[in-house]
Chain A
Amino acid sequence: MTAILRLENIHKSFGGVQALKGVDFELYPREIHAVVGENGAGKSTLIKIISGVYSPDVGKIIFENREVTIENPRIAQALGIATVYQEPNLYPDLSVLENLFSGRFLKRGFLLDWEEMRQRAKEVLSLLAVDLVLQAPLKRLSRAQTQLVQIARALLARARVLILDEATAALSPEETKRLFEILEKLRNQGVGIIYISHRLEEIFRLADRVTVLRDGEVVGRTKVRDISVNRLVQLMVGREIRDLYPRTPRTPGRTLLEVRNLSRRGVFEEITFEVKEGEIVALAGLVGSGRSEVARAIYGLDARDKGQVFLEGQQIPPRPWNALRAGLILLPEDRTRQGGILSFPISWNIGFSIIDYLRNRWWTIDERREHSLAKEMIQLLDVRPPKPELTLGSLSGGNQQKVVLGRCLLVHPKVLILDEPTQGVDVGAKAEIHRLMDRLVGEGMGILLVSSDLPEVLGMADRILVLHRGRLVAHLPRGSSPEDIIKAATGLAEAPHVR
C-alpha cells in the first residue's frame, strides 16, 4: 500500500531557532497516526507545514505519489487535507451553516444553493450524532460544539487527510468517546488521520502508529501496540518522569480567599467557599457547568449580580486591577486570546502586571530590572528558547502558557486562580507545573484550580468543589474517587453541601 502523504527531510527554522531538523513522516490510508512530543518539540510546526500555513526551508512533500508545494492553506484544502485546530479559526458572527461551507459554497448557477447545503449539513451532523441549530451564530456555541463544526467541515470537504490538533482538549468524556467512534469510522472509510494529543491514554486507545518528536527530530516511530506508556513518555522527554502528582500534605492556615453568595443570573448561583493558606482547592465540573465563569467573576473580569469576594478579610471590588493589587490573580484558560500580547517580547509580557512597580525615579520603566526578573522566571519555568527579547508569538503554545504563568507569579499573589493550567501542555511541563503548584502552596499561597482534567483534580487538590449547572453540588475531600466527582458533576448525586 502506498502512503497518501509522505514528508522527506523537512527542515524549518524561525529566526535562529531550528524547529524541525530533517523530519520524515508518512501517512497511509486507513491509519490513525499519532504525533507526540513535548511543547516546542515541533508538532505544531509539522502540521502547519502539512496544512500550508508554513513553507519548509528544505524538504519534499509527496501527496499521492506526486511532489507538491503547499504554499497556503487553500492548496492544502484543495488537495484534501483538512485540519481541526486547537483554536478554531472560524467566523464567530456567521451561522453554523455558513461556517460549514465557507470558502466552498455550493451553487446552482449563480445562486447559492442553501437547500442543498442544509441537506448535506444535516447528513453530516447526523453522522456525527450532534444536534446543532444551523442558523445559530457560531459564537453562541460552546468550544466543544465549535470543534465539532470544524470536524463536520472537514467531512463535507471529503478530506483524504484529517489532522486533529488537541481536538479533545475542550471536550467532555462523553463527547470524546463519540469523536473517537467517528474517527474510527472515517479511518475504515480510507481516510488517513494525523492525531496530536497530550493525553497519552487517548493515543493508546485510538492510534495505530505513533511518531515521537523531540527537539525537532523524530526519536521514535512504532506501532502503538508495541510500546508501553512508560517507554513512550521516556522517549518524549528524554528522561524519566517521577511523581506524576507531587503533593506534600500540609495543614491549611488562615483563610485567604472568601467567596460569598456569588451569583450571575443564568450562569451560576450562590457560590460560597473559601481557600486557605497552603491549600489547593479544585473547582470541577463538566464543560458548561460554569467553572471558568466563576473564576472570571471572582477576579472581576465578568460582571456579577450578587455576592462578594474577600481577600484576608478585605472586600475586593470587582475589577482585575483591584484584585491584582490585593494579591489575587488569574491565569486565564484561553491563553492565546487573553493570556499575553503576542507582539511584545517575553520580558514585557512577564513584567506587564507589575509594570507600575518597575518605575524608577524618572517615571521610566527600568527595563534592565524587568529583563533580569524575566530571566529568573524563564529559568524557574524553563521557558524555551530562554531569550527574554523574543516575541511571545514566536513561542510554542506551551511555552506561551509558561510566560503568562510567569507574569502571574511575578505579582507574588496570595491567591492564584489557575484556569486549566495544563491544558495543551505536555507531560514533562505538566509535571513541572504541578511541582511548582505544590511548592507555591508550601510557601503559604492558596490556589484555586479550575480544571477539566480529572486525574489532575484528584492528584493535586486538597478539597474538590463540584459544579453542576452553575451550582455547587458537592464538596469532596482529598482521596475521593473519580466516580464521586462524575456522579456529582453529571447531577446524579446531589451531595449535601458541606463547608
Chain B
Amino acid sequence: MYVDRARQLSILAFLLVLGLALLAYAPSFFQPGNLRDILVNASYLFVAAVGMMLVILTGHIDLSVGAILAICSTAAALASKAGWPLFAVFLLALGLGGALGFLNGLLVTNLRIHSIIVTLGTMNIFRGALIYWTQGAWIYDLPSDFRTVGLGQFGGIPYPVWGAIVTFALFAWILTQTSWGRSLYAAGSNPSAAHLSGISIPKVVLGAFVVNGVLVGLSAVLFSTRFSVIQSNIGYGFELLVITTVVVGGVHIFGGSGTLLGVALAALLLSTIGTALTFFRVSSYWELTLQGLFVLGAVALDIMRTRRSLQRGEV
C-alpha cells in the first residue's frame, strides 16, 4: 500500500528547521517545563486525532468531537466532585464518548445522509444539551485527585503523554495488523469493492464512530484534568483543530489512505507552533493563520503527488 513517507519527512524537516531557529533566536524555548507543556498539548490532540483518522479513513467525518469532548469533560468533573473514584470517572468519560459516537454512527449508517450533515446536527444538539444540563455554569472546586492525571507523571513522563504513547502503540497495531484496520482503509478506498468482497461497510463505519467517541472521551480526560475549572464552552472549535491535524498528517480527506505516524507528527507540529510564535515574539493570533497555511500546503502536496503518480502510471 502507498505510504506517504514524503509527508512524514516534510513535517519532520519543518520541525527540525523550527527547532534550529528557536535554538538560535529563542533558546529559552527549550526549558524542560515548556517542552513538557508542548508534549502534553500534543498528547490529547493526538488521541482525538487518531479517532478522527479512523472516521476519515472510512470516507466520513465527525464535526461533533468538540461537543463530545465538552460533555465528557463536564461529566467527568461532576462525577469526580460527587466523590466517584478516579477509575470510575475515566470509565464514565470513555463510555459516554463511546455512546455519543455510537449515536453518530447509527445516524450516519441508517439515515444515509452524509456524515458532515449528521454530525453538524449532533454537534449542535450535544452543545445545546450540555448548556441545558449545566445551565452554562462553570464547575469549580474540583477535588485534587481529579487533577493527578493532568498534572502527574510516571517515570518522568506526564500521564497524558503515556496516554498518547499507549494509543499510538495500540492503533499502530490495529491499523496495520488487524482485519478491522484493513477494512477501514478498504471502505474509504473503494466501498463497492469492499462490500462485494463481503465486508459489511455499515459495521465498519459504525465501529469507527464508536472508537472515535471513546478516544475523544480519553482525550477529554487527558485535557480537562489539568484545570481547576471546567467551563461550559470547553473544547469550542476543537473539531476543526483535530481535522486540521489529521489532514496535515497526510490522511486523505476522502478516505482510504494515511498513516498514524504522520498524524502524530502533525499533532506535535500544531501544538508546537503556538508556543514557538510566542517565543519569536510574534502575536499568537498568527497561529490560526499558520494552521490554515499548513492545511492548504498539505492539500497542495496531495494534488501534486496525485498528478505525478498519474503521469508515472501508478494509482
In the complex, A341→B257 CA distance in Å?
Answer: 12
A301 near B195 with CB under 8 A, answer yes
B1 near A348 with CB under 8 A, answer yes
Interface residues of A in 339-362 (CB under 8 A from B): 339-345, 348, 352-353, 355-356, 358-359
Is the contact region of chain A dominated by helix, strand, or loop, or is it mixed? Answer: mixed
B1 near A391 with CB under 8 A, answer yes
Q: List 13 A-B contacts (CB under 8 A).
A: A53-B310, A299-B196, A324-B198, A338-B193, A339-B193, A342-B189, A343-B2, A345-B1, A352-B197, A352-B199, A353-B198, A392-B315, A393-B315
A337 near B256 with CB under 8 A, answer no
A341 near B186 with CB under 8 A, answer yes
In the complex, A356→B311 CA distance in Å?
Answer: 36
In the complex, A45→B1 CA distance in Å?
Answer: 22
Residues on A with C-beta less than 8 A from B186 are: 341, 344, 352
In the complex, A339→B197 CA distance in Å?
Answer: 8
In the complex, A337→B193 CA distance in Å?
Answer: 7
Is the contact region of chain B dominated by helix, strand, or loop, or is it mixed? Answer: helix
Known: A332-B196, A365-B177. Is A342-B313 also a contact (CB below 8 A)? Answer: no
Residues on A with C-beta less than 8 A from B314 are: 14-15, 391, 393-394
Residues of B within 8 A of A (CB): 1-2, 173, 177-179, 182-183, 185-186, 189-190, 192-200, 256-257, 310-315
In the complex, A14→B312 CA distance in Å?
Answer: 7
Residue of B nearest to A389 (CB): B1
Known: A330-B196, A353-B198. Is A342-B178 also a contact (CB below 8 A)? Answer: no
Residues on B with C-beta less than 8 A from A330 are: 196
* A367 → B minimal CB distance (Å): 8
Residues of A within 8 A of B (CB): 12, 14-15, 19, 45, 48, 53-55, 299, 301, 319-321, 324-325, 330, 332, 337-345, 348, 352-353, 355-356, 358-359, 363-365, 391-394, 407
Residue of A nearest to B309 (CB): A393
A-B contact count (CB 8 A): 95
In the complex, A358→B189 CA distance in Å?
Answer: 21
B1 near A364 with CB under 8 A, answer no
**Given A19, A321, A393, A407, which contacts B200 in the complex, CB threshold below 8 Å?**
A321
A364 near B311 with CB under 8 A, answer no
B192 near A338 with CB under 8 A, answer yes
In the complex, A363→B181 CA distance in Å?
Answer: 11
In the complex, A343→B192 CA distance in Å?
Answer: 14
* A128 → B minimal CB distance (Å): 31
**Besides the known contacts A337-B190, A394-B314, 9 further A-B residue pairs in the complex with CB atoms under 8 A apart:** A12-B313, A19-B313, A48-B313, A320-B197, A330-B196, A341-B186, A343-B1, A352-B182, A364-B178
B199 near A45 with CB under 8 A, answer no
* A263 → B minimal CB distance (Å): 22
Residue of B nearest to A320 (CB): B198
Q: Which 4 A-B pairs have the closest CB atoms?
A: A393-B315, A324-B198, A355-B179, A321-B198
Residue of B nearest to A391 (CB): B315
* A421 → B minimal CB distance (Å): 15
B189 near A14 with CB under 8 A, answer no
Residues on B with C-beta less than 8 A from A393 are: 314-315
In the complex, A337→B192 CA distance in Å?
Answer: 7
Residues on B with C-beta less than 8 A from A320 are: 195-198
B179 near A340 with CB under 8 A, answer no
B196 near A301 with CB under 8 A, answer yes
In the complex, A324→B312 CA distance in Å?
Answer: 37
Residues on A with C-beta less than 8 A from B182 are: 348, 352, 355, 365
Residues on A with C-beta less than 8 A from B197 are: 320, 352-353, 407
In the complex, A356→B193 CA distance in Å?
Answer: 17
